[in-house]
Amino acid sequence: MSTLRDATLLRTKTLTPSVRELTFDAGGEFRFVAGQWVNLRGPAAASGEPLVRAYSIASAPSDDGVYSLAVTRVTGGPMSNWLHELSEGARVVQSHAQGFFTLEPVVRPIVMIGTGTGVTPLRSMLLSLTSEPLDVPVTLVFGNRTEEDILYRDDFESLAARLPSFTFLPTLSRAAAGWSGRAGYVQAHLAELVERTGKNADFYVCGLNRMVGEVRNLLRKELGVERQRVHTERYD
């Protein structure tokens, strides 16, 4: 049986000046686990082969085959620009859900560390966790350049207001005057997080390759977190 299927673009939403959310209907048989990704096929490239790019799913698993992605428009990026111009009702070819960046059994504190659209699989995990009462503390540290870059900010703040066990910690590397939250890269806050949650927490890290590598090394080599407690997904 083919692993490819058609999906219909149901709706779109502008999340930030450079990020567009696309919600697809892939049919009732489509299933995914929070944290997984799909390949989308775009128009043919100069080589004649279709463009193929992987995108992490941002929404919680559901039984209706509907899911959302958050896509950054990249200057000169043919796939991202095509997706940003795609009209509602358009059909695209996609793969089945893939990937092993998924939640471990929830038996210990959870710390999620993401930057940019690296927050999308973490959001999927978080929404799947908060569909029921949380039995462990969960912290999301979300790094961006500026305040307007914070994806899904309203969602995360709403969850933090509703769930005492969830803490949302946005941090900005280019904070403007008047920003009252955390500043600097996510790496700067790791020691405090480990002290707060303990070394036996599960750490889920997603973002660009350099950030993920630095966070993983800091957690394991300097802060004493065991290898099996650090779960990573990276992209460039």
Sequence-distant (6+) residues with CB within 8 A of 75 are none
Q: Tell me, what's the pLDDT at 121? A: 98
Q: Which helix (H) or strand (E) holds 233?
A: strand 230-235
What domains can be seen in the chain, in order of their start residue?
5-94 (2.40.30.10), 110-235 (3.40.50.80)
CA 175 to chain centre: 22
Q: Which residue in 117, 104, 129 sits closest to 201, CA to CA?
A: 104
Specify the residue for token string 């799909």. 38
For the chain, the maximum distance between any two Cα atoms, rounded to a whole number of angstroms, is 56
Q: For the chain, how big is the Rg over CA atoms in Å?
A: 18
Query: Are the CB atoms for 70 and 117 separated by under 8 Å?
Result: yes
Q: Tell me, what's the pLDDT at 119? A: 98
Upper half-sphere CA count for residue 165 (Cβ side, 13 Å): 13
pTM listed for this prediction? 0.95
What phi, psi does 174 have (nearest 5°)?
-130, 55
Specify the residue for token string 């992209």. 235
Which value, to the nearest 10 degrees, does the dihedral of the CA atoms of residues 105, 128, 155, 64 take?
160
Q: Tell me, what's the pLDDT at 21? A: 98
Q: Tell me, what's the pLDDT at 217? A: 97
Q: Which helix (H) or strand (E) holds 42?
A: strand 37-44
Tokens at 184, concatenated: 């600097």
Amino acid code (one letter) for 71: V
pLDDT in tens, the chain (236 residues): 358 999 999 999 999 999 999 999 999 899 999 999 999 999 887 778 889 999 999 999 999 999 999 999 999 999 999 999 999 999 999 999 999 999 999 999 999 999 999 999 999 999 999 877 788 999 999 999 999 999 999 999 999 999 999 999 999 999 999 999 999 999 999 999 999 999 999 999 999 999 999 999 999 999 999 999 999 999 87
What phi, psi does 229 have (nearest 5°)?
-95, -5
User: Do β-strands 110-115 and 202-208 pair in parallel, antiparallel, or remain unpaired?
Assistant: parallel
Specify the residue for token string 């912290």. 139
Dist. CA 87–CA 176, nearest whole Å:
35
b/e burial code for range 133-148 (CB count within 10 A of at least 16 → b): ebeebbbbbbbbeeee
